[in-house]
Amino acid sequence: MPKYAKNQGAGFTNAIERVAIVGAGGTVGSHIAKALLETGRHTVTALSRKDSGNRLPEGVLVTSIDYNDEATIVAALKGQQFLIITMAPTAPRDTHSKIVQAAAKAGIPYVMPNGYGGDIDNIKLGEDTMLGPIAKANRDEIESLGMQWITMCCGFWYDYSLAGGDARFGFDFDKRSLTIYDDGNTKNSTSTLSQVGRTVAKVLSLNELPENENDESLTLSTFLNKGVYIKSHVVSQNDMFESVKRVTGTTNAAWTVTYIDSKKRYEDGLAQVKVGNMAGFGKMLYARAFYPGDCYDHSAKVQNALLELPDEILDESTKAGLDLVKELQLRVERMAA
């Protein structure tokens, strides 16, 4: 049965005002938290480990939690309307479940689970990269506990993946080297971190429900138990290389370019992961997404126009990537995963 604002009880505001976020100081969480605050419509509360050294964006309220003490998570989530989880891939596997179970106990209705990756309907790619079944299990758990989810399908983060070293988009800016999959012409759907933040803020600033049967406006409820599909740039490595050369003022002569077979790189990465060497994970994940004819491109499904997202300029996004290089190099454990 569709729910309408007119049928809700007294005190229903039809707006998401109180948002809790796990990872508000993290790679994507910091962009989401900032974008939410910029709307002026939300209070943003970070659930942060008590010994966390992460810096949080200004204006974010902080609650300390202990993943081994569920009561602390439930207490932090009481009264919140929407929970966003941006959890480090290096966190223990059961951490997501601990948060979701506490959210159900706290009465949270909506959760954005960890994910921030590809098309959730591309089952084969999800299985090949191992991420699909994990994300599906996270969504299923949310539903099984009586809550609803909205997940972000943004593809690779352009700026992060450009800056993140050879195992990602192939660039090593210190060595001025580039590893190109196959002929470098396979395109991928990518989104900048700021586009992801902006999108979450847009969706959470919509009315929660339609006013009545005649209200056809876009609401948060439109996206429940679905993916939100966005993009910034649909680009090949050759497109990226041209942009990098423009932004850095370099020519081919300054770069050492190596061409490798994406399928071989995928198999090598997978073999490393199978023996517990997580350095192979990024190699496996990115090489798989660049398979010619079977790559990661969800541009036919994107909802940029529906959400009135701005067009972004590739070279500006490349500059944002270059600004991230040093910061990511300092996050040794995180970047090795």
Ligand X SMILES: NC(=O)c1ccc[n+]([C@@H]2O[C@H](COP(=O)([O-])OP(=O)(O)OC[C@H]3O[C@@H](n4cnc5c(N)ncnc54)[C@H](OP(=O)(O)O)[C@@H]3O)[C@@H](O)[C@H]2O)c1
Distance, CA of 65 to CA of 50 (rounded, Å): 6
Q: Count residues contacting ligand X (CB under 6 A)?
A: 27
Q: What share of the chain is helix, strand, coil (3-state, %, to 5)?
A: 40, 20, 40
Q: Degrees (nearest 5) of the Cα angle 287, 175, 313?
A: 65
**Which residue of the chain is nearest ligand X when measured via CB?**
26
Decide if residue 237 touches ligand X (CB under 6 A): no
Distance, CA of 16 to CA of 201 (rounded, Å): 10
Decide if residue 195 touches ligand X (CB under 6 A): no
Closer to ligand X by CB, 210 or 227: give it. Answer: 227
Q: Beta strand 156-157 with 187-191: parallel, antiparallel or unpaired?
A: parallel
Decide if residue 23 touches ligand X (CB under 6 A): yes
- Residue 204's CB is within 10 A of a number of other CB atoms, namely 26
Q: Token pair for residue 244?
A: 């990098």
Among 14, 52, 101, 238, binds ligand X (CB under 6 A): 52
Among 8, 64, 90, 256, binds ligand X (CB under 6 A): 90
Q: How far is CA 260 from the centre of its chain?
A: 27
**Rounded to the nearest whole angstrom, what is the least distance from the CB of residue 93 to ligand X in the complex?**
10
**Rounded to the nearest whole angstrom, what is the least distance from the CB of residue 89 to ligand X in the complex?**
4
Q: Degrees (nearest 5) of the Cα angle 8, 14, 16?
A: 130
Among 28, 76, 206, 235, binds ligand X (CB under 6 A): 28
**Maximal C-alpha separation, the chain:** 68
> Which residues on adjacent β-strands are paired with residue 43?
18
**Rounded to the nearest whole angstrom, what is the least distance from the CB of residue 116 to ligand X in the complex?**
4
Site for ligand X in 116-145 (CB under 6 A): 116-117
Among 157, 223, 266, 290, binds ligand X (CB under 6 A): 157
Decide if residue 160 touches ligand X (CB under 6 A): yes
Decide if residue 189 touches ligand X (CB under 6 A): no
Query: SS3 of 197, please?
Result: helix
**Rounded to the nearest whole angstrom, what is the least distance from the CB of residue 54 to ligand X in the complex?**
4
Binding site for ligand X (CB under 6 A): 23, 25-29, 48-49, 52, 54, 86-91, 95, 114-117, 154, 156-157, 160-161, 334
